[in-house]
Structure 1
Amino acid sequence: MHPVTGLSALRIKNLGCGAGILALLGVVLFAWLWVQIDRFGQVDRARRADVIVVLGARVWPSGRPSDALARRTLHAVRLYQEGLAATIVCSGAQGTHPPTEAQAAARLAMDRGVPPEAIVLEEESHSTEESAFFVSEIMHARGWQRAIVVSDAYHLWRANLLFGKAGVEAYPSPAHDERYPLSKRAYLYHLGREVVAVAWYYVKSSLGLSIIHV
Structure 2
Amino acid sequence: MIALRGIGIAATLFFVFSAFTPFWNFVGRRLRLEPQLTKSDAIVVLGAGVLMDGTLSHESLRRTVHGLRLYKRGLAPLLVVSGPTPRTDARRGGLPEAEVRKAIALEMGIPAGDVIAISQVHTTRDESEEIAARLAERRSTTILLVTESMHMRRAMELFERAGLRVFPAPSDDFPRVAESPESRIGLMWRALIQLAGVVYYRAAGYT
TM range (shorter): 0.7 to 0.9
Provide the C-alpha distance between the structure 2 equivalents of 1:176 and 1:114, rounded to a whole number of angstroms. 23
Provide the C-alpha distance between the structure 1 equivalents of 2:28 and 2:161, rounded to a whole number of angstroms. 17
Distance 1:111 1:75, change over 3 A: same
| 2:120 is equivalent to residue 129 of structure 1 | no
Gaps of 5+ in 1: 1-33
Instruction: Provide the identity percentage.
Output: 27
For 1:37-116, list aligned pairs within 5 A: 38-95=29-86, 96-97=88-89, 98-116=94-112
8 Å CA contact retained: 1:110, 1:116 = yes
8 Å CA contact retained: 2:81, 2:116 = yes
Q: What residue in structure 1 maps to residue 115 of structure 2?
A: 119
Give, as a single letter, the amino acid of the residue that structure 1 aligns with 2:192: G
The answer to which structure, 1 or 2, has the higher relative contact order (CA under 8 A, 6+ apart) is 2
Q: Which moved more, 1:41-50 or 1:130-139?
A: 41-50
For 1:18-33, list aligned pairs within 5 A: none
Provide the C-alpha distance between the structure 2 equivalents of 1:200 and 1:61, rounded to a whole number of angstroms. 29
1:50-109: CA deviation from partner (whole Å, max 9, x where unpaired):
000010111011101111110000000110011000110011221233211211221222
8 Å CA contact retained: 1:55, 1:131 = yes
Provide the C-alpha distance between the structure 2 equivalents of 1:174 and 1:116, rounded to a whole number of angstroms. 25
Provide the C-alpha distance between the structure 1 equivalents of 2:37 and 2:122, rounded to a whole number of angstroms. 25
8 Å CA contact retained: 1:38, 1:191 = no
Q: What TM-score, normalized by structure 1, do the two folds share?
A: 0.73
Number of matched residues? 171
| 2:200 is equivalent to residue 204 of structure 1 | no
| Bigger Rg, structure 1 or 2 | 1
Give how far 1:121 is off: 1.2
Matched residue SS, 2:44: strand
Give how far 1:110 is off: 2.4
Provide the C-alpha distance between the structure 1 equivalents of 2:200 and 2:97, rounded to a whole number of angstroms. 25
Distance 1:39 1:158, change over 3 A: same
Gaps of 5+ in 2: 1-24
